[in-house]
Amino acid sequence: MPEISRFYGIVIKMFHNDHWPAHFHAEYGGSQMLVGIDALAVIAGRLPSRATGLVMEWAAEHQEDLRHVWAQARSQEPLDRIDPLP
């Protein structure tokens, strides 16, 4: 699964041609969660609360970028990287 961003030990990934709803995968310390792009809500899984907060902050800042990368993934195109949190 292609990595689209990495910050503070959190890895953000997206599958090509993944199932709906539009979402991304966040991994941290052996845990994983799926986050819906449109609602910015956890769909499945769980990260520690601090990591979850950082993921949600990042996603809110990059929601339009995430929609763009989701469209690339659905079209089987190479995925753009998205800037990490500073």
CB 36 within 8 Å of CB 80:
no
Supply the pLDDT for residue 84: 98
Supply the pLDDT for residue 31: 98
CB 58 within 8 Å of CB 12:
yes
pTM summary value: 0.95
Domain spans, the chain = 3-74
How does strand 23-28 pair with strand 10-13? Answer: antiparallel
Supply the pLDDT for residue 43: 97
How does DSSP classify residue 20?
Answer: S
Supply the pLDDT for residue 17: 80
Low-confidence ranges of the chain (pLDDT < 50): none
Going by C-alpha positions, the residue among 61, 75, 58 that lies closest to residue 22 is: 75
Q: What CA–CA distance (Å, rounded) separates 29 from 67?
A: 26
